[in-house]
Structure 1
Amino acid sequence: MDRQKKIETAARIEPCFFQDTIPSILADLTVELHREADNLGRGLHPESVAELADLVRMMNCYCSNLFEGHNTKDIEKALSGAEVEPERGALALKAKAHVIVQRKIDAMHSKGDLPSPTSVEFIAWEHRMLYHEMLEEFRFIERPDGSKVEIVPGEFRKTANDDGVVSRHQPPSSDRVGAFMAYCSKRFGLGPIHIQDSQN
């Protein structure tokens, strides 16, 4: 197996673990974090919870766009329909698309209709929904030679012609994407996510 193929072995998406035991200070912090997170939403009015959820969606969107080299500070304006400065308008609408799709996912979860979020089918659905909401100018990725290839909503990259880069990130070669997606689905699959009624 050549070096590039070895680097692109699907099992490389496994999370990193400690070689020996987890340091006690980290274990204690994990327990404390879990406890505090469990208490976070208790006693809050449902409208406050909804506002916090939307804030977290915007935070996640902002950070994920930074990975791509996009500063999307005007997410809130775009979501409310307010006017955004022309030079930042396209990025704001890109961010809006992210938040809209996340709202759909959260709504599915609230209704108990969320399928396995790591399944190939669900990730393809997410991709399709995102790029249906996206401006056309963001439906392209740049190849290493500077040329561009169109992104097809709901379709994963398959051939060398689809290879591209995202800011400083070099994703797996297109012919390896299918293997990564299948591994992710099999290794981390949770099955459909159902809401358990706390009164039962």
Structure 2
Amino acid sequence: MTARDDGESVGLFEPLVVSEGAKLRARLNDLVLTLTEKSAAFSASLPPPIACSLSDVVRTANCYYSNLIEGHNVPPIDIERAMHDDYSDDAKTRDLQLEARAYITVQKWIDNDGIDSAPFSHRGNL
């Protein structure tokens, strides 16, 4: 398979960073802090088995939508099958399942503290 080059800027892959002088930056920072605090409180309130199960569901949903945005339609059932080593006989579907499995594997690694420093700090190793 040959990779297609659409001539897109690598900058399209960079995260959105609100500029220092943005009019609503302080308000956005406040909202981020509030969301982070509520998320942490919610996570802490869940029994570990439920938190683990919810994490798996959210990873699958994130994988599905992220891939869909990129034009790679992998239905959640195919993602779940891939996570249990049940791959399609259709080559295109199997490739999408392998991509989805890799996505979830990396996300789980990140969620389990696989990165030992802030990703955008330019300090430490990824």
Same fold, TM-score > 0.5, yes or no: yes
* Structure 1 position 114 matched with structure 2 position 115: yes
Counting aligned pairs with the same residue, the percent is 30
2:83 is aligned to: 79
Runs of 4+ aligned structure 1 residues displaced above 6 Å come to: none
Label 1:34 to 1:88 Cα distance change in 2 as closer, same or farther (>3 A): same
Choose between structure 1 and 2 for higher RCO, CA contacts under 8 A separated by at least 6 residues.
1
2:59 is aligned to: 57
1:188 to 104, 109, 121: 121
Instruction: Kindly report the root-mean-square deviation, in angstroms, between the aligned alpha carbons of the 2 structures.
Output: 3.6
Count of aligned pairs between the two proteins: 113
Structure 2 distance, partners of 1:100, 1:77, is 14
Structure 2 distance, partners of 1:88, 1:8, is 27
Label 1:24 to 1:58 Cα distance change in 2 as closer, same or farther (>3 A): same
Gaps of 5+ in 1: 1-6, 119-186, 194-200
Aligned partner letter, 1:97? A
TM-score (norm 1): 0.43
* Structure 1 position 94 matched with structure 2 position 99: yes
TM-score (norm 2): 0.62
Q: Give the CA deviation at 1:15.
A: 1.6
CA offsets 1:128-172 (integer angstroms, 9 cap, x no match): xxxxxxxxxxxxxxxxxxxxxxxxxxxxxxxxxxxxxxxxxxxxx
Q: Which has the larger radius of gyration?
A: 1
Label 1:69 to 1:19 Cα distance change in 2 as closer, same or farther (>3 A): same
Label 1:117 to 1:59 Cα distance change in 2 as closer, same or farther (>3 A): farther
1:68 is aligned to: 70
